[in-house]
């Protein structure tokens, strides 16, 4: 009986270990939702040691630029080092997908020319896929800010609207060819403006047929042209002022335009915006601003949480209608709008409730202590 008991106990232990390993492997391979993080290699060498590969499904490397109508590594010396270091993360998470992201706010000037004709589109797509192939990446992300719009000083024209779609069509064909040559799925994604006007500049319903994911940039809603105190990354509309943008608005508008829910990815901001209230030391959402500060002056979230929340005169508030936190310093008349664990938790709940693909965030190094990524991982992983 003792021998049988010991044998039974050993078998039970082995079975339990096998089940545990199998469940762990299955969970890693089949995360219920995507967690896409941008890493900013445009600054030079990137500290990939801080990147927790186990908490991510995808990394988008920002940015590859466009030169002479081709995808081009502007900082090849550091880009290639960053590529090698990012590939090492696959040893930690073999299911991690790495994509080159082409464009960005300051790098979208030449998209219009690059995709203007059949010939230019073929050359552009070939050059992008060549980078993917050469450096053993998993796909291409397009961050065109924005088609048929001046953006940060873009060349733009009405033809961008349809050429945007044709660009994805050609990229998809070339990535399909690479799939057959190299084996393994090659992804095609885009970062899209999280506002209704973006849908007038593009054919998102048609373009989405070629895309694996559409990441909504549901942040930077606080714009200098509006001259009012408002949230920059709110989930819902605020009742305190007439909301022009929200993640919820963007999701419903994109679905109405024909983008499937299971391709939509909600954006999370890992940084804050600082605005200066103009009228009063009593902060009122929707009030006039004296000025708006550039992106990131509010600091990354690690800085905001560790150094500003309920410190140095900055008092923490929540707009519970918009699911948006903010800080206000009455002495300095400074308003800081950002995402925190509370707002991120609610964005993740929203993703699950509406059958969306997952979340995306800009940018990893803005929250080096991973306060927000830990919350995302907890909320979206099995």
Q: Which residues are catalytic?
A: 145
User: Cβ-count burial of 18 within 10 angstroms (0-12 exposed, 13-18 middle, 19+ buried)?
Assistant: exposed
CB-CB neighbours of 281 under 10 Å: 11
Between CA 38 and CA 368 the distance in angstroms is: 13
Whether 135 contacts 127, CB under 8 Å: no
In whole angstroms, how far apart are CA 30 and each of 46, 179, 190, 361, 380? 28, 21, 22, 20, 12
* Nearest one of 78, 133, 57, 123 to 100, comparing CA atoms: 133
Residues composing the chain: 382
Structural contact between residues 147 and 166, judged by C-beta atoms closer than 8 angstroms: no
Rounded CA gap, 50 and 242, in Å?
A: 40
Cβ 276 vs Cβ 329: under 8 Å: no
């Amino acid at each position: 009986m003792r021998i049988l008991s010991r044998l039974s106990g050993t078998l039970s232990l082995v079975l339990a270990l096998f089940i545990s390993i199998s469940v762990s492997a299955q969970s890693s391979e089949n995360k219920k939702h995507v967690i896409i993080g941008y890493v900013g290699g445009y600054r030079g060498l990137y500290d990939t040691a801080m990147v927790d590969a186990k908490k991510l499904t995808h990394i988008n490397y920002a940015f590859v630029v466009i030169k002479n109508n081709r995808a081009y590594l502007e900082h090849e010396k550091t880009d290639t080092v960053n590529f090698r270091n990012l590939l090492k993360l696959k040893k930690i998470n073999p299911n991690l997908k790495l994509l080159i992201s082409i464009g960005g706010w300051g790098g979208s000037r030449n998209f219009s020319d690059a995709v203007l004709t059949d010939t230019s589109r073929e050359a552009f797509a070939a050059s992008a896929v060549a980078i993917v192939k050469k450096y053993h990446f998993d796909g291409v992300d397009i961050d065109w800010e924005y088609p048929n719009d001046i953006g940060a000083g873009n060349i733009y024209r009405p033809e961008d609207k349809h050429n945007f779609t044709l660009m994805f069509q050609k990229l998809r064909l070339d990535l399909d060819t690479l799939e057959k040559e190299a084996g393994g799925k090659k992804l095609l994604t885009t970062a899209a403006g999280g506002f209704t006007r973006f849908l007038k500049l593009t054919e998102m319903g048609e373009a989405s047929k070629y895309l694996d994911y559409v990441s909504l940039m549901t942040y930077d809603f606080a714009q200098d042209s509006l001259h009012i105190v408002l949230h920059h990354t709110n989930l819902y509309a605020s009742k305190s002022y007439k909301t022009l943008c929200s993640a919820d608005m963007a999701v419903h508008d994109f679905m109405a335009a024909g983008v499937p829910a299971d391709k939509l990815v909600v954006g999370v901001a890992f940084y804050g915006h600082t605005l200066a209230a103009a009228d009063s030391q009593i902060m009122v959402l929707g009030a006039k601003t004296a000025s708006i500060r550039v992106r990131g002056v509010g600091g990354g979230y690690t800085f905001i949480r560790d150094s500003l929340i309920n410190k140095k005169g900055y008092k923490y508030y929540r707009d519970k209608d918009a699911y948006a936190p903010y800080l206000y310093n009455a002495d300095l008349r400074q308003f800081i709008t950002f995402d925190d664990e509370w707002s991120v938790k609610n964005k993740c709940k929203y993703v699950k409730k509406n059958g969306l693909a997952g979340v995306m965030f800009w940018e990893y190094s803005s929250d080096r202590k991973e306060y927000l990524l830990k919350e995302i991982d907890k909320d979206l992983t099995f």
